[in-house]
Chain A
Amino acid sequence: MAKLLIIDDDAHLRESLAEVLDLDGFECHQAGDAKEGIAAAQKLAPEVVIMDIQLPDSSGFQICQELRKRSKTMILIMMTGRFLSSEEKTQGFELGADEYITKPFDLAELSVRIKQLLSRNAPRG
């Protein structure tokens, strides 16, 4: 069972997402801000981290950069509520982001995408 960490300051969003993904067989953990999120990631070493770009104490891209330093294989999915310019997206990819999802997102699609990304990592891991 793949471990999955959700970092978002919106508790409802965290919980709703976690419970949906729980149904799909993921072990979901949650964090409310960047500090908590990084700490959880260190402790749990999740295969997938879904984080909001805008967090109260930091930018999602900074967490992304931080986590990517520690793990090359960790799947980092960025959540956003607004349009991102292609520059922002490119910058994000360079910092290590694997995927972007725009709220509200199609959960079935997301689930499939995560599984696909995990399956790609599996042979190497």
Chain B
Amino acid sequence: MATRRRGKLAYKIIFWFLLISLIPMGVVGYYLINVSQQSLHNETLTMQGSLAVGFADTVDKYVATFRNVMTETASLDDFTSMNPAKQQQYLNRILQIHLAVLELSVLNDKGVETLRVGRFLGPNPELRDFRREDLFNAAVGPKGQYVGRLERFQGLYPTVTVSVPILDARVQPARVAGALAARISLNPLSTMLSMEFPSTGSSQAAVVAPDGFLIAHSDPKEIYRPDARLSDDVLRVVTTQASERGSGDMALADGRRMLASFAQSRDLGWIVYVQQPVETANHSADQMRAQIVKFFLIVAIFMVLFSLAMANHITQPIRLLKEAADRLGRGQFEDMPEVVTTNDEIGDLAQTFLGMSDSLKEKTGELIHAKQELEKFTKFLEKRVDARTRELRSAQDELIKKERLAAIGQMASVVGHEIRNPLAVINNSIYFIKTKLSTGVEPDPKISKHIKIIESEIQQANGIINEILTYSRQRDLKPERVSLNAWLEELLSVYPFPPHIVLEKHFDLVSVNVEIDTTEVQQAIRNLIGNGIEVMPPPKGGKVTIRTAIPEPGWVRIDIGDAGGGIPPDVLDKIFAPFFTTKARGTGLGLAVVRKVVDRHKGRVEVESKMGVGTTFMLYLPTVV
């Protein structure tokens, strides 16, 4: 199975934190920027409109200032006397004080020029007749003033001509003595605009006459151009407005968008036009946006760091838990990482995990213990099975041996019985012959000798049959408790030792009790003594040694030793087998009976033999209290 790549919890936390924190901020920021942009736009427009109105007032005041100076001068007594010398004095003063005044003229009551002074006039300039001109008629008429004749002074910069009546106050009502006219440079207005509203890029401020004549411009260079005019699309808008003032967005012919404002001066009717690119108004909004974006980024970075810290804080115990779980999975219960148990859900989880880990450890321990127990038990069982198998095998061997012996016994029994009958007949017959012979004349001594031989052989045959039948007899054991030493003593006292045999007894001082079938054990001991006597024939004879000893608690050993020729080592292990014999005459059952008897008494028989020294049989029998 391909390992599935697991998403890191930390990344998820960062993602969600950023989402939760930045989206509202983004929305609010976007909204704020939009709103502020709109309000700034409007504010800028309003300010720009106010600026236009202020400029319009300034333009009015500018012209009004000169008009007032002229009115004041024209009403002076010395001036109304129409004395040219006096008037020239005043006019020169005005020229000295007001640099914007380029030329001054005095007209008489007929409208003819009587005095003309100017900065750039030569001596005795030409005197003009203005009797049909508005310049004169408007000034002396009911309007009482004239502002007009917008033209370019010597084709260079715009000028305006202002005229006021000269009133003679010495008579009542005042009499119009003439008019005072002045040609005034409008350059200071351009200077003022360029100072108040510096023309940068598309920003500009201008004053135009309703007919489109450019009176002043925020770019001083502009005013000196011979064809100085505002662009037609601007002019079309500002000269066709019905209202005195206004502000708004305007698209120029070249596609640029402008914030445009205009205001008409109250006295003169000149129009002040102010424009600046929309971008200018948006500048603050842009700055604000940049500020917000900066803030947004800072918050984002902070959030990332905060999320990382947070995620680390949250995942640290989980990572530890995972590590611990991994170790558990590998079955390593030692050196578990320190699992922090805080008082929250993760703490609960850790607590539960620790509980689970303990339980798992315990269970695993139990399992391991159970496994070990099981292994131990299995080994034990195997041993038991092995032992039992060995027991069974030996039991089987024993059984086979027993069955074989039983078969032998049965055969021996049948044979023995069947032989006993003819033996009995022979015995009877020989007895008959012997009896018959004894009643008559003295028989041939050789016949008597042969009768004896037959009788002896019958006894021999009967002995063999008895031995076989004794060995093969299936009889129940009849144990009785006897004191071994005493019982042996009695047995030996009645045993018919021949004269060439010496009996030596070494009985253990501690007399123990044994539970034995006396008939059988007696038979066994008699067989052994009989064997011993047989291997020490006369005339030499020898010593039969009977010894008892306690080799270990619960056991007694009866040694029956002889000083015969010894048993060859190669036949030592066969001597207890039934029908094994080295004698010329013998059934080979004597030692087999011994073995059978000790086996039946849960004892054992051992033999030690040294060639030329003698043989000792050792019967081990369990003792009883």
Contacts and interface: CB of A to CB of B under 8 A. Distances in A.
B432 A104 contact: no
A104 B427 contact: yes
Given A13-B425, A103-B423, A20 B432 contact: yes
Interface string A1-34: 0000000001011001101100100000000000
A87 to B, nearest CB: 9
Contacts of A85: 475
B424 interface: yes
Interface in A49-98: 81-83, 85
B93 to A, nearest CB: 188
Given A13-B421, A19-B432, A104-B420, A82 B413 contact: yes
Contact of B431 (A81, A102, A103, A107): A107
8 contacts: A10-B425, A13-B421, A16-B432, A23-B432, A82-B417, A103-B424, A105-B424, A107-B427
A20 B469 contact: no
B236 interface: no
Interface in B402-423: 413, 416-418, 420-423
Given A23-B435, A82-B413, A103-B421, A16 B428 contact: yes
B417 A107 contact: no
Interface in B452-478: 458, 462, 469-470, 473, 475
The 9 A-B pairs at the shortest CB distance, nearest first, are namely: A16-B428, A103-B424, A104-B427, A104-B424, A81-B417, A81-B420, A103-B420, A107-B431, A12-B425
A4 B426 CA distance: 21
Q: Which of A102, A104, A105, A108 has the most CB of B within 10 A?
A: A104
Contact of B435 (A17, A20, A81): A20
Contact of B469 (A13, A17, A83): A83
Contact of A17 (B418, B428, B462, B473): B428
Contacts of B423: 103-104
Q: Which of B427, B458, B475 has the most CB of A within 10 A?
A: B427
Nearest to B431: A107
Given A82-B469, A104-B458, A20 B428 contact: yes
Interface residues of B, number: 24
Given A17-B428, A82-B469, A104 B435 contact: no
A91 to B, nearest CB: 15
Given A23-B432, A104-B458, A81 B427 contact: no
Nearest to A108: B431
A116 B242 CA distance: 190
B486 to A, nearest CB: 25
Contacts of A16: 424-425, 428-429, 432
Contacts of A19: 428, 432
A82 B475 CA distance: 13
Contacts of A83: 469-470, 473
B8 interface: no
A23 B420 contact: no
A82 B424 CA distance: 12
Q: Is the interface of B mostly helix, strand, loop or mixed?
A: helix
A50 to B, nearest CB: 12
B436 interface: yes
Given A81-B421, A103-B421, A13 B416 contact: no
A103 B416 CA distance: 10
A85 B435 CA distance: 34
Interface residues of A, number: 18
A19 B429 CA distance: 9
A26 to B, nearest CB: 13
A14 to B, nearest CB: 9
Contacts of A81: 416-418, 420-421, 424
A13 B425 CA distance: 5
A61 B614 CA distance: 51
B436 A23 contact: yes
Nearest to B476: A85
A83 B469 CA distance: 7
Q: Which of A10, A17, A23, A103 has the most CB of B within 10 A?
A: A103
A98 to B, nearest CB: 19
Contacts of A108: 431
Contacts of B426: 104
B473 to A, nearest CB: 6
Contact of A13 (B417, B418, B424): B424
A101 B424 CA distance: 11
B413 A10 contact: no
A67 B475 CA distance: 30
Given A13-B421, A81-B420, A81-B421, A107 B469 contact: no
A16 to B, nearest CB: 3
Q: Which of B429, B436, B473 has the most CB of A within 10 A?
A: B429
B428 A107 contact: yes
A121 B347 CA distance: 116
Contacts of B431: 20, 107-108
A67 to B, nearest CB: 22
Contacts of B429: 16
Contacts of B475: 85
A84 to B, nearest CB: 10
Contacts of A102: 420
A13 B422 CA distance: 7
Contacts of A17: 428
Q: Which of B417, B431, B475 has the most CB of A within 10 A?
A: B431
